[in-house]
Amino acid sequence: MESTPRILLVDDEPGMLASTKALLEAVDYDVVIAHGGKAAIAMLEIEDFDMVLLDMNMPEVNGHQVMEFINDKLIKVAVVVLSGEVDFDSITRAFQLGAFDYIKKPYEFDELQHTLRNALRKQELEKSLFSLRKQLERSERLHRFMIESSPDIIFIVDKNGNFAFVNDRAEELLNYKKDELISAHFATIVEPDYVERATHCFHERRTGPRATKDVEIWLMCKPGSRPGWTRNMIAIELNSLGVYENEIRNDKGEVQSGDFSGTYVVGRDITERLASEKLIHSQAYHDLLTGLPNRALFHDRLSNTISNARRENDRLSVLFLDLDRFKVVNDTLGHSVGDELLKQVANRLRSCLREGDTVARLGGDEFIVLLPNINSDDIARLVAKKLVDAIKQPFFVDGNELFLTGSIGISMFPENGETADLLIKNADTAMYYTKEQGKNSFNCYNRDMSIKHSRMLNMEAEIRKGIKEEQFEVFYQPQVSSIDGGITGVEALLRWNHPEKGLLSPIFFMTVAEETGIIVELGHWILNKAIAEVKQWLDSGLPLDRLAINFSSKQIEQDDFVDNIVNALKKHDFPGEKLEIEITESMLMTNIEQTVDKLNELHRVGVHVAIDDFGTGYSSLSLLQKLPIHRLKIDRSFIHDMEENADQSIIEAIAHMARGLKLEMVAEGVEEEFQLRYLQELNCPVIQGFYYSQAVPCEEARQLIKDGASIIGSKPLQNNESHKSSFAGKNKLKATAG
């Protein structure tokens, strides 16, 4: 909605003011009157008007003086003189002071209306032009600010390729002053290998979607002339379009006609982005620790080499290498020493190979080697021997002299596989065969190895299925007091009710469980199952001092080993002092510090610790004194090898050691009466073995404890022949959770 024009009517004649005001208001003008020039100036100072109708001849302040005031104060208002003054000088003076028109009194109202409309129209045009000019000035300032503040380099080159404009960013990134670049040809700063590509960008004539976009080139920086300047070149991504004068564009924004004057070029610095992409690419295809190719890059190179070998009717070999004793070093001396050792191993392996060979780290202590263009297995064996011999040489890390060995498996193309995955798999299988044969050597793959490996995989799948379908069961073997013949405890032992093979002891599946890591899941299951069943015995009033459960080294290595045991005790409300965990001597020698810490944590919640198979390992007296140990279990091999009236010095030494360390001794594997009598003479307090009972199912074990009269010197506990027939020989078969 348009506003009503506001007019200030200035005159010193009241009648003139009244009549003119009435006429103007009748045609919808908003009229304010001022009696004389002085009053007009006062009103102009405080109010806004679109127009002033001004008389010239007025006392005190005349019309010229009012117009001078308007000009001095820069008041934007149209002035129309309405006066009886006809003096030429007066009229000329009025126009010089900015009057739009001069109407002589007496006036025709139509003439006055016409003049007012024209004056207002001119006033509106001037306001619009003023606003447009301000917008253009603001836009220009903003555009210049954006160009000069842009993070991108901005060039304008003329049609000859010479710089006509460069922004501040170009100076910052290229180390050139603006005046050094203006009028210079663009090729002077383009890296020579990129001049041809840059020419298409800096001479771009197209506009719109077809113009140059995202072209990568390298620009040369001016050699350092300011402190800290080190860059020689930068990579930029260019976008450019043609610039035209008198241009006519189509509806797509493209110039149809016009005079080509140059090219507008915008370049973004992508030097750091390219460096990051290069780093990311390197990290994606290289091992971060050793700098060797990783599994992905090795697989890619192997696939390409296979393609070349197939085309050239050539042969190649893959060597899979695993470090044999690395884990001991890593656990004993820490990961920083282990990492440095892996770096030295990587360098040593590299030094043993040809330039065209590839050695990669697959992860952990596993490495793999690609030998292209070899014409016989003998060459692969020679390289493998060279690598094994190199690994055997001592390493020196942080003042430690360290010794490792390596086990290698070899596969050949095309005999042992025609794909990358199959060659790697078969080399891996041969490497595991080498480990089984004693490590520190190498073997070439043959099909028999895969058959054995396949059996292992099938066994792994069956074990996992057995866990899922609850085919496993906990048996219990009594531990009997040699003093009063009472059952003081039980050892939990694992059995597998296999749907096809019947009841299996751990001897048939524990090796696979260990190697595949399923032992951790099995161990967690037997821990909770045994605690839950024995807790029911205790709640029913059965007397039992101890539940013994075996744990494997893999379980102890888990970060949540202690938490799992503590949580199981809490879950079943089982007293910690009635739980005994059994670990072997060899486990103690792996990551001694962490093992000691974990056992101490369990000791604090009342859990007892027993050293199983004692006498077969290498534990020292000083180590035994550090550990919260309660029992030593004599290894069954010493009991099994006993002969009546023979020298039993080893068993006697163990017994004296146990008494000296104030540890209780348990003899397991007792099968003959003369063994029992001898152990009683040694004051061995706890006996375990087939002489009294083999391991029996939960309900039978509960009944044995319930019926638990003294059995020393009387008939042994009745063995269940149906269970005994399921086992080979009389060897004790443990539910080692490891």
What does the pLDDT look like over 440-485, one tens digit per residue? 999 999 988 877 667 777 888 899 999 999 999 999 999 999 888 8
Q: Which tens digits make up the pLDDT trace of 311-339?
A: 999 999 999 999 988 888 887 788 899 99
End position of a domain, from candidates 445, 478, 501: 445
- Residues 256 and 337 reside in one and the same domain: no
| Residue 722: per-residue pLDDT | 37
| Residue 216: per-residue pLDDT | 93
- Residues 614 and 513 reside in one and the same domain: yes
Average of per-residue pLDDT values in the chain: 85
Count structural domains, the chain: 4
Question: β-pairing, 153-158 with 579-584?
Answer: unpaired
- Residues 169 and 90 reside in one and the same domain: no
Q: Which tens digits make up the pLDDT trace of 39-69?
A: 999 999 999 898 899 998 898 899 999 999 9
Q: Read off the pLDDT band of 102 (50, 70, 90).
A: confident
CA angle in degrees (0–180, nearest 5) for 407-523-366:
20
- Residues 637 and 513 reside in one and the same domain: yes
- Residues 512 and 631 reside in one and the same domain: yes
Q: Read off the pLDDT band of 559 (50, 70, 90).
A: confident
- pLDDT above 80 (res 565): yes
Q: What is the 3-state secondary structure (H, E, C) of 290-321?
A: CCCECHHHHHHHHHHHHHHHHHHCCCEEEEEE
Q: Is 344 helix (H, G, I), strand (E, B) or coil?
A: helix
Q: Is residue 738 domain-resident? A: no
- pLDDT above 70 (res 285): yes
Max Cα separation, the chain?
A: 159
- Residues 267 and 351 reside in one and the same domain: no
Q: Is residue 389 domain-resident? A: yes
- Identify the domain containing residue 303 by its residue range: 288-445
- Residues 480 and 573 reside in one and the same domain: yes
| Structure tokens given for 66 | 């009012």
What mean pLDDT comes out for the span 144-166? 84
Strand order in the sheet with 233-249: 163-166, 153-158, 255-269, 233-249, 212-220
Q: Which tens digits make up the pLDDT trace of 531-546?
A: 999 999 999 999 899 9
| Residue 368: per-residue pLDDT | 97
Q: Read off the pLDDT band of 734 (50, 70, 90).
A: very low
| Residue 724: per-residue pLDDT | 36
- Residues 656 and 540 reside in one and the same domain: yes
Q: Is residue 143 domain-resident? A: no
CA distances from 258 to 162, 245, 248, 249, 253 (A): 20, 6, 6, 9, 13
Q: Which tens digits make up the pLDDT trace of 379-400?
A: 999 999 999 999 999 999 988 8
- Residues 262 and 292 reside in one and the same domain: no
Supply the pTM of this predicted model. 0.47
Give strand pairing partners of 665. Answer: 632
| Residue 110: per-residue pLDDT | 83
Q: Is residue 296 domain-resident? A: yes
Name which residue leads in pLDDT, 288 or 143: 288
- Residues 160 and 193 reside in one and the same domain: yes
Number of H helices, E strands in the chain: 27, 27
- pLDDT above 80 (res 192): yes
Name which residue leads in pLDDT, 732 or 274: 274
Nearest Cα to Cα of residue 636 among 524, 491, 508 = 491
Q: Read off the pLDDT band of 376 (50, 70, 90).
A: confident
End position of a domain, from candidates 241, 276, 311: 276
End position of a domain, from candidates 445, 472, 498: 445
Q: Residue 13: what residue type?
A: E
Q: Is residue 141 domain-resident? A: no
- Residues 532 and 510 reside in one and the same domain: yes
User: Cβ neighbours of residue 146 under 8 Å, at least 6 residues apart?
Assistant: none
What mean pLDDT comes out for the span 208-228? 83
- Residues 441 and 463 reside in one and the same domain: no
Q: Is 591 helix (H, G, I), strand (E, B) or coil?
A: coil
| Phi-psi category of residue 736: left, alpha or beta, with phi > 0 → left and psi -120 to 50 → alpha | beta
